[in-house]
Structure 1
Amino acid sequence: MMQDYSSEFSGRKVFITGGSRGIGAAIAQRLLDGGAQVAVSARSKTEDIPSGAIFIKGDISTAEGANVLAKEVLETLGGIDILINNAGSARVHLAGSAGIPDEEWLDALNLNFLSAVRTTTTLLPALKESSNGSIVNISSGGPNAFMAPLLHYGAAKAALNSYSLGLAAELAPKIRVNVVTPGMVITPGADEIRKVFTDAMGVPEGAMGGMVPLGRMGNASEIAEVVALLTSDRGNWITGQNYFVDGGMGNIGRK
């Protein structure tokens, strides 16, 4: 008999950063399908945002921006039970790590690590009021994340992983904190990055999918399903974990 998950998030209030497209939008749709009230943020609105989600324009690249956004989130939702830190981006530097300018190292830390710290810190008092608070940070474990052209991005995500594990220990048992690390997933942002690599290597865009033991790249909805597990009552005894959802890519980028 199939389990009915259509109401497992009933009454839960969710906020997702970077929820305008790709994995963030897929997570929003999955939690909406489970009955949650969902707000998503990004710098601009897109057509990929699920129709049932509340869009809040915001910029979490500064502490002030994060504070303003958090205030609006709480005013809109009236509280928060689940926080998904998904915002992030990367720029490829094919010349290698030595060619990455200092400001891009700082930008990578800002966008992929400190944005999550700021958002979590500002919303933590409200999360502590929830009867079942949960945080999921979206990391990265694609085969290119820790290669020289993206080393600034990989280093920022490594910082996010370390922060998440420490936060899980600090906030237990009141709030659960986990990480989901996607492998090669089909999203607009990831597709753009892969194209830079495949163009440079002179191979077809679909060639990287052949590296995955399960024979294909993943879909954003498959990442969203793992997030749903971790934030639902089914994941009530899971905290401080990093779930790799990568089609069997193994230890690539896990250090």
Structure 2
Amino acid sequence: MEQEFNFNNELSGKIALVTGGTKGAGRAIAERLSIAGATVIITARNPPEKENSNLHFISSDLSKAEDAQKVVSEVLSTYGRLDILVNNLGSSLTPAGGFAVLTDEDWESTLQANLLAPIRLDRGFLPQMIERKSGVIIHIASIQGILPLYDSTLPYAAAKAGLRNYSKSLSNEVAAKGVRVLTVSPGWINTSASKAWLGEIARNANSTIEEARQSVMDALGGIPHGRPAEPEDVAELVGFLVSPRANYLTGTEYVIDGGTVPTI
């Protein structure tokens, strides 16, 4: 018998956590899951600039092990379970200049935020998912995991490559226990942070914003679609992957980059 889904309320009754959920793609993902009926918790170091009563905020710095444990404890004590975990947090604050300018602190802080933070949250939430034989974990990686920009984001690219590999390994371990694990690897996303970055590039090069935008696309080898992704583009993909419509999908990486990566 053909199964029917109510796309507008397909996550009703689900409890979801989105890390880095106060802005950019994380915010768009959180809002998308909320619209689909989920109860959504977001976490970041700072509260969202624009309040949304449908998103429940927990302040945390997930690069610290104790804050990851705080989030796990608070979610489980308040809501009793977690059905959907979207490990969206990602950051690259390292200086440009290649390997020679990077310190141990640059490497360690980037690995903590981009690799160890999702690992810790998975470890905290997986036992109750396995016990219930139900749950979805999404790891937001990056095309830099396979297409690194070595001059400016080498630690970030290495961390995301590790996250891709870890995600695949974890999916193999828990698929038979009822938990789906998937990776989403975006290319360039048009967030407020990327807009500020373009402004900085334009000022340094004494160029226009449009010229700065084109220079970034050229550095990536081009974006056949002709533009970066909007946060909502990524959110829509994640919304599908965590839904019942995707219940046979696990262990797979979904690249959403407008055609940037030049290989299959």
The TM-score with structure 2 as length reference comes to 0.87
Q: Which residue of 1 aligns with 2:39?
A: 37
Quote the residue 2:258 is aligned against. Answer: 247
Cα drift, residue 108 of structure 1: 0.7
Amino acid at match of 1:175: V
1:176 to 2:180 alignment: yes
CA-CA distance at 1:82 after TM superposition: 0.4
Return the match for 1:58 from 57, 60, 69. 60
**Amino acid corresponding to residue 148 of structure 1 in structure 2:** D
Summarize the Cα distance change of 1:100–1:20 in structure 2 as closer, same or farther, 3 Å threshold: same
- Select the residue among 78, 82, 85 that pairs with 1:83: 85
User: Following the alignment from structure 1 to structure 2, what is the Cα–Cα distance between the partners of residues 130 and 196?
Assistant: 49
1:1-255 equivalences under 5 Å are: 4-48=6-50, 50-141=52-143, 145-173=148-176, 174-195=178-199, 203=207, 204-207=211-214, 208-209=216-217, 211-251=222-262
Q: Structure 1 residue 6: deviation in Å?
A: 0.9
Tell me: CA distance 1:155–1:201, structure 2 relative to 1, closer, same or farther (3 Å).
farther
Structure 1 residues 156 and 172, CA, compared in 2 at 3 Å: closer, same or farther? Answer: same
Q: Distance in 2 between matches of 1:183 and 1:31?
A: 21
Give the CA RMSD over aligned residues.
2.2
SS of corresponding position for 2:86:
strand
Structure-2 change in CA distance of 1:20 and 1:144 (3 Å): farther
How much has 1:71 moved relative to structure 2?
0.4
Kindly tell me: are residues 135 and 225 of structure 1, through their superposed partners in 2, closer, same or farther at Cα, counting changes over 3 Å? same
For residues 94 and 60 of structure 1, do their structure 2 counterparts lie closer, same or farther at Cα, with a shift above 3 Å needed? closer
Partner Cα distance (2:142, 2:201) in 1 = 17
Larger Rg: 2
Q: Which deviations, in whole Å up to 9, do the C-alpha atoms of 1:95-130 show, x marking residues without a partner? A: 212111111011110010000101111111122244
Q: In the aligned structure 2, how far is the partner of 1:109 from the partner of 1:251?
A: 27
Quote the offset at 1:156 in angstroms: 0.6
Q: Where does the alignment leave 5 or more consecutive residues of structure 1 unmatched? A: none
Could you say if the C-alpha distance between residues 196 and 216 of structure 1 is closer, same or farther in structure 2, counting changes exceeding 3 Å?
A: same
Asked if 2 retains the 8 angstrom alpha-carbon contact of 1:91 and 1:193, the reply is no
Aligned partner letter, 2:113: L
Q: Secondary structure at the match of 1:180?
A: strand
Identity across the alignment (%): 35
The answer to whether the 8 A contact 1:141-1:244 is kept is yes
- CA pair 97-202 structure 1, distance change in 2 beyond 3 A: farther
Any unmatched runs of 5+ in structure 2? Answer: none
> Which one-letter code corresponds to 2:97 in the other structure?
A
How many residue pairs get matched?
251
Does the Cα contact within 8 Å between 1:81 and 1:127 map onto a contact in 2?
Answer: yes
Distance 2:238 2:226 in 1: 23
The alpha carbon displacement at 1:141 in A equals: 1.5
Equivalents in 1 of 2:141, 2:201: separation in Å? 20
